[in-house]
Amino acid sequence: MSLSGNERCYPRRVNQSTAFMTYPDKDSASEMQRITDLDRIEESIRPLGPTLVNLYFRIMHRTFPILDQGVFLEKYARSYHEFSPPLLAAVYLVALDWKLFDRTLATAPRTPDAEALEDLAMRTMADDLKRPKLSTLQAGLLLLQRMRSSHSTLPAQLLSLGQTLGIHIDCTGWKIPEWEKGLRRRLAWALYMQDKWGVLVHGRPSLIPAQIDEDEGTSDWDVGACTLNDFPEDATEEENGDGGVDGAAGRAAFLQSIELTKIFSRIVSTFCSIGATKKGGLLERIGPSGAMSLAKPLAMELREWHAALPASLQLESTPSLRLSTNGALHLSHMATELTIHRALLRILTPDSAPSLRSAIRTAARARLTSAMNLIESFQPEHIQSFWGFAAAAQVALVGAFAGLLWATSPQMDEAAGYVEQLEKLRWVLQVRAYAAPFAREALRMLHEEVGDLAAVKAATFRDS
pLDDT of 233-276, one tens digit each?
Answer: 765 555 555 578 999 999 999 999 999 999 999 999 999 999 99
Assess whether 184 and 264 both reside in one domain: no
What average pLDDT does this structure show over 303-323? 93
What's the confidence (pLDDT) of residue 216? 55
pLDDT tier at 211, thresholds 50, 70, 90 = low
Q: How confident is the model at residue 3 (pLDDT cuts 50, 70, 90)?
A: very low
Q: Taking residues 178-194, what's their average pLDDT? A: 97
- In angstroms, rounded to a whole number, what is the distance separating the alpha carbons of residues 229 and 237? 17
User: What integer pLDDT is reported at residue 212 of this predicted model?
Assistant: 65
Out of 8-17, 250-259, 312-321, 334-343, pick the least confident. 8-17
The reply to whether 232 falls in a domain is: no
Last residue of a domain, one of 366, 398, 419: 366
Let me know if residue 298 belongs to a domain: yes
Query: Does residue 161 surpass a pLDDT of 50?
Result: yes
Pair (397, 441) in one structural domain: yes
Q: What is the mean pLDDT of residues 422-438?
A: 92
Q: What's the chain's length in residues?
A: 464
Beta bridge partners, 15, equal: 18
Looking at the chain, the whole-number percentage of residues with pLDDT higher than 70 is 89
Number of domains in the chain: 4
Contact 166, 20 (CB under 8 A): yes
42 with 131, same domain: the answer is: yes
Rg over alpha carbons for the chain, rounded to the nearest Å, is 24
- The answer on 95 and 46 residing in a single domain is yes
Average pLDDT over the chain, rounded to an integer: 90
Average pLDDT over residues 26-32: 65
Q: What is the pLDDT of residue 17?
A: 73
Query: pLDDT tens across 269-312, in order?
Result: 999 999 999 999 999 999 999 999 999 999 999 999 999 999 99
Residue 161 included in any domain: yes
Choice among 325-334, 360-369, 403-412 with the minimum mean pLDDT: 403-412
d(CA 441, CA 362): 30
**Domain span at 179:** 150-224
Q: Tell me what percent of the chain is helix, strand and coil, each rounded to the nearest 5.
A: 65, 5, 30
Tell whether the model's pLDDT for residue 28 goes beyond 50: yes
Q: What is the pLDDT of residue 233?
A: 75
pLDDT, greater one: 29 or 375: 375
In a domain, 233, yes or no: no
Is 188 a domain residue?
A: yes
Q: Are residues 206 and 252 in the same domain?
A: no
In terms of domains, do 156 and 139 share one?
no
Same-domain pairing of 165 and 50:
no
Which has more pLDDT, 218 or 329? 329
Which has more pLDDT, 334 or 4?
334
Lowest mean pLDDT: which of 144-153, 166-175, 313-322?
A: 144-153
Last-in-domain residue among 194, 224, 254: 224
Q: Which has more confidence, 321 or 167?
A: 167
Omega within 30 of 0 (cis) for the link into 86 = no
Residue 140 lies in a domain: yes
What single-letter DSSP state applies at residue 169?
A: B
Are residues 204 and 316 both part of a single domain?
no
What number is the average pLDDT over the span 376-383?
94
Mean pLDDT of 35-43: 96
The answer to whether position 11 is within a domain reads: no
234 assigned to some structural domain: no
Mean pLDDT of 363-386: 96
Q: How far apart are CA 264 and CA 143, in angstroms?
A: 23
The one-letter amino acid code at 296 reads K
Statement to judge: residues 253 and 359 lie in one domain: yes
Based on the domain organization, do 254 and 337 belong to the same domain?
yes
Q: Based on the domain organization, do 260 and 350 belong to the same domain?
A: yes
pTM: 0.92
Beta pairing partners, 12: 20
